[in-house]
A and B are shown apart, each in its own frame.
Chain A
Amino acid sequence: MSENQAHPLFPHRHLLGIRDLSPQEICQLLDRAEAAVPISRKPDKKMSTLRGRTQINLFYEASTRTQSSFELAGKRLGADVMNMSVASSSVKKGETLIDTAMTLNAMRPDILVIRHAAAGAAALLAQKVGCSVINAGDGAHEHPTQALLDALTIRRAKNAIAGLTVAVCGDILHSRVARSNIILLNALGARVRAVAPSTLLPAGIAQMGVEVHTNMADGLKDADVVMMLRLQRERMAGSFVPSVREYFRYFGLDGEKLKHARDDALVMHPGPMNRGVEIASDIADGPQSVIEAQVEMGVAVRMAVMEALVDPRRNGEGVAA
């Protein structure tokens, strides 16, 4: 892919969070991703942009779509991709995150993709290793590629992001997806709403650049995009919300609640979905749903990010020599 030459040099060595990006840099990544979309639609999907480069996926949390999306993105760009399965590795034997990272770093990868349950894990890693680090989700902090793929999905469907009203609904308290999206959507000029029971909203939410709503009718009113978040199973019963039944009744996205949004509102979900908890099946599979498009855009966004980080114009900087 010669796309690198068509874009300005991406000034960051790592992608740790949307917080670190300017609106121009976000748009550059989205433009690069847009250009990567057709690649995955061709019969021959193999590029040579990252030929000879090594990408290691280090996933400390179970993940289907993010890990396979990163793997495919790397392979389609021609990189050698290795998946570190934490379940069967020395991590199980008590090795610390940094020891594992230093071991992998000694094998001279060019890109390290990390997912970890602790906020700040990716930033910590980036201080210690010599290659580019991509945050694939760190605790409840950030999940930048998810926000980028969401933005790309919205931009392709609505042509622009500025001026749209986006309702982010559900477990915002524990959600890295919500944080990255709130930052990104604000940076690109959208109006963002946070819709959830107060037990699932973080302290200080009103100062995070969102309108806060604790009922779906107000929160979804005239929204252009309804972004649902996953409610994790251990948080369902008796702790943050009294029961699944009650949660679905008041905060699950069904046809009735969706009527409050605009008729052409997009329905999004980062997956994996809990059907009948945060979203009704008919809505998840309905005409307004762009959930599958999100998955497709995920591969394009991750190709764009890796291509931007491993730019040969950087003269080897940010790349293990």
Chain B
Amino acid sequence: MTARVFQNARIVDPSRGIDETGTVIVKDGRVVAAGHDALNQGTPDGAETIDCTNLVIAPGLVDARVYIGEPGNEHRETIASASKAAAAGGVTSMVMMPDTSPVIDDVALVEFVLRTARETALVNVHPAAAISKNLAGNELTEFGLMREAGAAMFTDGRATIANSLVMRRALTYARDLGTIVAHETQDMHLAASGVMNEGLFASWLGLPGIPREAELIPLQRDLALAALTGGRYHAAKLSTAMAADTIGRAKNGADNVSAGVSINHLSLNENDIGEYRTFFRLSPPLRTEEIALRWSKPSKTGRLTSSFRRTIRRMLIPSDCPLQMPPTVLSGLKPCWRWR
């Protein structure tokens, strides 16, 4: 195989702390040099040169929060089709959420996902297993057995565990097993039937709003339980500045807490919903412009340092129903390709 030279690319490699314009040389399918000085040894003989002006070259991305239709909704999406979208977005590994049908709350389901991925997927697929059986928030699943079978971490997907005792035990058990509990926090009673950020914009549209406190209140509880148990806790999908501040304070001195934010919450805000663009209904909802702006700036305190990101995506976006009705889905795989 001949060498290929990718020139004038923006090279981003967090493992070496590199973000610079330069060249990547690939020989026999392996990167042999990357950086502004990659051509110091000269261009390899017979190399194919590819101009990458305005493009980014980076190691394969890891998307730690991907919702996939299989099993249960294969007419919408399969593990194979989701992996194609991931590959198109530069994502080479994804952690798959357990809120499928049936729920990934059993060793057999973990094995099913791994087997299907092995046979059909273009990228690495790591199943996350449910914290509670059937995502009901009551009984713990078999953390140990599923971890052994290959579960990457534990999460109830888009569901929030309301029962504090269940959460405490999940964190305690996770600590003993050395695994991670990732949680999306939304107080179901406070959020009620809300479909977007509570505020003037929702009020004019006549849509029920979700206050920011709906995210904060269960998060504060979780952080207290993480401190109590020492379990490894990941706040999976933050959407508000107040929650980010709370995480920042909790991380101060604690190494068992991290947080993630989705590309959609960084690059979009509630104004993008405009006149009922149904497909921008997300969970948690898109918040205000100020929050999105603030988050898109690099953080001085390094608060949101986790490599976790969240993605929800469907190959078919069900935009043929009013905003108050559709499930909350939006691709995070392809947009992240363009986002810098």
Binding site for B on A (CB under 8 A): 19, 96-98, 116-121, 123-124, 138-142, 176, 179, 202-205, 207-208
Q: Mark B138-166, 1 if CB is under 8 A from A, else 0.
A: 00000000000000000000000000000
Given A120-B275, A138-B206, A139-B206, are A203 and B321 also a contact pair (CB < 8 Å)? no
State A141–B131 Cα separation when bound (angstroms).
39
Taking the nearest CB of chain B, how far is it from the CB of A111, in angstroms? 20
Binding site for A on B (CB under 8 A): 198-209, 211, 275-276, 278, 320-325
State A179–B205 Cα separation when bound (angstroms).
9
Q: Which residues of B contact A97 (CB under 8 A)?
A: 320-322
State A176–B322 Cα separation when bound (angstroms).
16
Taking the nearest CB of chain A, how far is it from the CB of B320, in angstroms? 4
Which residue in chain A gives the minimum CB-CB distance to B203? Answer: A202
In contact, A119 and B324 (Cβ under 8 angstroms): yes
In contact, B322 and A119 (Cβ under 8 angstroms): yes
In contact, A119 and B200 (Cβ under 8 angstroms): no
State A207–B211 Cα separation when bound (angstroms).
18
Given A97-B322, A118-B325, are A203 and B199 also a contact pair (CB < 8 Å)? yes
| Choice from B276, B278, B320 contacting A96 with Cβ under 8 Å | B320
Taking the nearest CB of chain A, how far is it from the CB of B260, in angstroms? 27
Taking the nearest CB of chain B, how far is it from the CB of A116, in angstroms? 7
Q: Which residues of A contact B203 (CB under 8 A)?
A: 202-205, 208
State A138–B204 Cα separation when bound (angstroms).
12
Q: Which residues of B contact A124 (CB under 8 A)?
A: 276, 278, 320-322
10 contacts between A and B (CB under 8 A): A117-B324, A118-B324, A119-B322, A120-B324, A124-B276, A139-B322, A139-B324, A141-B207, A202-B202, A203-B202
In contact, B206 and A119 (Cβ under 8 angstroms): yes
Q: Which residues of A contact B206 (CB under 8 A)?
A: 119, 138-142, 176, 179
| Choice from B198, B275, B320 contacting A203 with Cβ under 8 Å | B198
Question: Which of A121, A203, A207 lies at the interface centre, i.e. has the most chain B CB atoms within 10 A of its CB?
Answer: A203
In contact, A140 and B320 (Cβ under 8 angstroms): no
In contact, A119 and B321 (Cβ under 8 angstroms): no
Which residue in chain B gives the minimum CB-CB distance to A140? Answer: B206
Given A124-B278, A203-B202, A207-B200, are A140 and B322 also a contact pair (CB < 8 Å)? no
Which residue in chain A gives the minimum CB-CB distance to B200? Answer: A204
Which 3 A-B pairs have CB atoms at the shortest separation, nearest pair first?
A204-B200, A141-B206, A120-B276
In contact, B200 and A120 (Cβ under 8 angstroms): no
Q: Which residues of A contact B325 (CB under 8 A)?
A: 118
